[in-house]
Amino acid sequence: MLLCKIINRNFVVLSQVKTSTRAISAVRKLSTKNDGVENFKGKYDIIIAGGGMVGCTLACALGKNKVLSNLKILLLEGSPNKKYELKEEYSNRVVALNPSTKALMSSLDVWMHVENARLQPVRHMQVWDACSDAIISFNSTDFLDDDLAYIVENDLLQHSINTELSKVQNVHIVYGAKIADYELSKTQPDSYDCTGSKVKMSNGDTYSCQLLIGADGANSSVRKAIGAQYLAWNYDQMGVVATLHLAEETENTTAWQRFLPTGPVALLPLDSRRSSLVWSTTHEQAKQLLKLPDEQFVDSLNDALWKQYPRSSSVDACTSWVSSWLQRVGLPSGAARQLPPSVRNIAANSRAAFPLGFGHSTRYVAPGVALVGDAAHRVHPLAGQGVNLGFGDVKDLTELLANTLYSGLDLTHPTWLERYESLRQRHNVPTQLAIDALHRLYTVDSPPLVLLRSIGLQITNAIHPVKKMIMSHATT
Ligand SMILES: Cc1cc2nc3c(=O)[nH]c(=O)nc-3n(C[C@H](O)[C@H](O)[C@H](O)COP(=O)(O)OP(=O)(O)OC[C@H]3O[C@@H](n4cnc5c(N)ncnc54)[C@H](O)[C@@H]3O)c2cc1C
């Protein structure tokens, strides 16, 4: 009986492998024909438009997946292939990567390149309100077996991904690729088969593919081509970034964020003496901050971290009442407030500013097309989630596609595309809405709203399961 079961199971697996090989070889046959188009450069199973952090990770994940390793993949990146060199001074663009991203990068052998170069773990996080005494803090030991996050320079991460990508045989990369237009896949009547998409380049070259993936950032042309509705707004804010030299040497594994009425100012640890700044503020203040001499910039930043803002006495009275009530019922009445570091100076020419906005594509898929990363969703950097959401897309898309081919279905079968969309939107949309709500709640200084958010923060800080739930959502 047991023997029969084993034979039966092996037969099912073998027939699935056979069907999946058949599905791939059907695609492969298509790859040899010329379409009769002038400057036709070849047929691919998958084309990824956009080779930023998300597009390159996707190419690497697809290329390294055993079930997908027979697919012919093309990655088109608009900018040239930049040489990377690890410099003594940190780059001003960094990302906070969560443990799920670390797990994905480890599975692709990317993480070891980052670790061998440099990263800084975040083991403690303190977020506080400039308009009241409300504060929330997170310690890695309270929630996870891992660190809360890791601060990594964007270009180091990109370089580490590219190092592994260059070892993948079935991914062809074209840098400096200027995409002019897309002719998108159509479904055949009464079948799930797609006609395939054409990608037209500005130099006249044309590529075609079964599956087109848009990883082309917040202004995605793939998203525009599929005609997806895009819910988007610009925050009236810029994110001012810089590399900071701290006044004192410490272990520096705390991420600090203070909510000012003009937007949050955050210090992300880089090493024992340096941190990276993300200061979200009004366009006018951002412009001024970029123009200031270094010393005055540092004074303004220390003010933003330390200055006492005008406070409402009734808000203070209510928050102190809530604090003593929490104490009476045996809950933590307030986090042990730590003092943020003082900034001594900034790295030369490290100041820059980026516009901040929200974006949600109502569709992540269309026949033979999928969107990943900022092409599908864009968030305010206040929660350090943007690219982590994109890496979550990469993980789910790769797994769903591999399962689809393994079970003998086609590369563009709508079942997996729809599953991808619903799975990702169920994670991404609540995260986006929560970040947007936080942004709105903290850019006002009217006392009733300050009171509401301060009590909310005090209670959240006091109830461990709620903090745990927030942390678990932010780290997966
Ligand atoms: C100040 C700031 C701080 C941030 N901090 C964090 C953080 O701490 N944690 C976090 O998770 N996220 C953070 N983010 C968000 C994060 O930077 C983005 O989510 C991430 O860069 C998106 O990556 P992506 O690959 O999807 O898109 P992009 O980085 O925009 O890459 C898109 C790529 O597509 C290419 N491209 C576009 N159009 C075409 C075309 N037509 N043809 C060919 N190529 C094309 C572009 O050249 C680019 O390389 C921050 C953002 C900002 C602004």
Question: In angstroms, how far is the first alpha carbon of the chain from the final one?
Answer: 42
Of 162, 212, 216, 350, which is best to mutate to test ligand 1, by the most ligand atoms within 8 angstroms of its C-beta? 216
Indicate the top mutation candidate among 95, 119, 158, 199 to test ligand 1's pocket, ranked by most ligand atoms within 8 A of CB.
95
**pLDDT tens, position by position, 370-405:** 999 999 999 999 999 999 999 999 999 999 999 999
Q: Exposed, middle or buried: residue 200 (CB in 10 Å: 0-12, 13-18, 19+)?
A: middle
Helices and strands: H and E segment counts in the chain: 14, 20
Alpha helices in 363-446 (DSSP H): 386-406, 414-442
DSSP bridge pairs for 378 = 359
Residue owning the nearest CA to atom 15 of ligand 1: 386
Dihedrals φ, ψ of 210, to 5°? Answer: -80, -45
Q: What is the DSSP letter of 382?
A: G
Span 257-286, pLDDT tens digits: 999 999 999 999 999 999 999 999 999 999
CA-nearest of 306, 59, 12 to 162 is: 59
Q: Is 177 in the pocket of ligand 1 (CB under 6 A)?
A: yes
**Which one, of 169, 181, 202, 184, lies nearest residue 72 by Cα?**
169
Amino acid identity for residue 313 in this structure: S
Which residue's CA is the closest to the ligand 1 atom numbered 37?
216
Q: What is the DSSP string of 262-279?
A: TEEEEEEE-SSSEEEEEE
Whole-number Å distance, alpha carbon 109 to ligand 1 midpoint, is 22
pLDDT given for residue 315 in this prediction = 84
Question: How much distance in Å is there from the Cα of 435 to the middle of ligand 1?
Answer: 18
Cα of 53 from ligand 1 centre, angstroms: 7
Structure confidence at residue 85 (pLDDT)? 92
Question: Ligand 1: does its nearest atom lie under 6 Å from the Cβ of 263?
Answer: no
| Neighbouring C-beta atoms of residue 392, cutoff 10 Å | 23
Q: Which two tokens mark 120?
A: 């800084």
| Helix ranges (DSSP H) in 443-463 | 447-462
Output the CA 374–ligand 1 centroid distance in Å: 6
Report pLDDT for 36.
57
- Give the 3-state secondary structure percentages of the chain, helix then strand then coil, rounded to 5: 45, 25, 30
DSSP E strand stretches across 215-325: 230-246, 254-260, 263-269, 274-281
Specify the residue with its C-alpha closest to ligand 1, atom 21: 387
pLDDT, residue 280, reads 97
Q: Which of 434, 426, 431 is CA-nearest to residue 396?
A: 426
pLDDT in tens, 70-116: 999 999 999 999 899 999 999 999 999 999 999 999 999 999 999 99
* Six-digit token string for 170: 């079935």
Q: Tell me which residue has its CA closest to atom 28 in ligand 1.
A: 217
Residues 6+ apart with CB under 8 A from 205: 39, 40, 41
Assess whether the C-beta atom of 387 lies below 6 angstroms from ligand 1: yes
Distance 390 CA to ligand 1 centre (A): 9
Token pair, residue 299, equals: 């004074």
- Alpha-carbon span 408 to 383, nearest angstrom: 40
Q: Tell whether ligand 1 has an atom less than 6 A from the beta carbon of residue 383.
A: no
Alpha-carbon gap, residue 242 to 253, rounded angstroms: 18
Secondary structure (3-state) at 174 = strand
| Contact (Cβ atoms closer than 8 angstroms) between residue 245 and residue 362 | no
Q: Amino acid identity, residue 195?
A: T
- Ligand 1 centroid, distance to 217 Cα (angstroms): 5
Element containing residue 42 per DSSP (H, E): strand 40-49
Q: Along the 476 residues of the chain, how does pLDDT read in single tens digits?
A: 433 343 344 433 334 444 344 344 334 433 444 555 567 778 999 999 999 999 999 999 999 999 998 999 999 999 999 899 999 999 999 999 999 999 999 999 999 999 999 999 999 999 999 988 888 888 888 766 789 999 999 999 999 999 999 999 999 999 999 999 999 988 777 777 778 999 999 999 999 999 999 999 999 999 999 999 999 999 989 999 999 999 999 999 999 999 999 999 999 999 999 999 999 999 999 999 999 999 999 999 999 999 988 888 888 888 888 888 888 877 776 657 789 999 999 999 999 999 999 999 999 999 999 999 999 999 999 999 999 999 999 999 999 999 999 999 999 999 999 999 999 999 999 999 999 998 988 888 888 888 888 888 888 888 877 878 887 777 77
Ligand 1 centroid to residue 169 C-alpha, Å? 25
Among protein residues, the one with the nearest Cα to ligand 1's atom 31 is: 52
When the pLDDT of each residue in the chain is averaged and rounded to a whole number, the result is 89
List phi, psi (to 5°) of 380.
-70, 145
The structure tokens listed for 27 are: 């695609």
CA dihedral 146, 149, 151, 154 (to 10 degrees): 110
Pairing of the two strands 73-76 and 171-174: parallel
Residue 397 Cβ < 6 Å to ligand 1: no
Q: Catalogue all structural domains in the chain, each as residue range(s) with its CATH number.
A: 27-85+158-229+362-443 (3.50.50.60), 119-152+234-357+446-476 (3.30.9.10)
For residue 177, the ligand 1 atom closest to its alpha carbon is 43
